[in-house]
Amino acid sequence: MDLVEKAKEAAAQRAVDNHIKNNFVVGIGSGSTVVYAVEHLARRIKENDWKISCVPTSFQAKELIRKYNLVMTDLEESPDLDVAIDGADEVDAKLTLIKGGGGCLTQEKVIASCAKHFIVVADYRKDSSNLGENWKKGIPVEVIPMAYVPVQKKIEKLLGNKAELRQAAKKC
């Protein structure tokens, strides 16, 4: 494991250790760093006989929860989350984020808004002075299908740039 991966793993473990306790309902986000968080959470649950319920933000998160045999729930059953852990595509000095590059922006935002605490785990490569320095794929905007064309036109008029459609298949 290279140094970046070791640092990501350590950061994810620290996020779990510092922010998750027994009987919590936890939002589980997506990305490579979240994988380390879920692995560590599974160990903590087993070692301490904790009762933790997990709410996924994406297909990847569902698969991680299943892989580690964690208790999965949803917002209908558990609308009040104690904490949500997720990654980010880019983070500036003010802790403003670009999120949703993986294609699950709306679900990630809904889960984050239901959590008392929102923890973002990201490595140094996601850090920037100004958003857009490192993340070159544009700002993700999730739109319901019927509104795609009008929203695209408004974004292009407002920003003077081309808004491109990108579909996230089997992501959320």
- Domain regions of the chain by residue span: 3-138
Residue 151 token pair:
């929203």
Nearest to 57 by CA among 105, 17, 123: 105
CATH topology of domain 3-138: Rossmann fold (3.40.50)
pTM for the model = 0.88
Adjacent-strand bridge partners of 56: 28
Helix H, strand E, coil C: the string for 3-34 is HHHHHHHHHHHHHHHHHCCCCCEEEECCCHHH
Average confidence (pLDDT) over 7-27: 97
Our answer to whether residue 9 is catalytic in this structure is no
Catalytic residue among 77, 108, 133, 164: 108
Summarize pLDDT for 119-138 with one digit per residue, the tens: 999 888 999 998 888 888 88
pLDDT score for 160? 87
Please calculate the CA angle 26-171-16 and round it to the nearest 5 degrees: 25
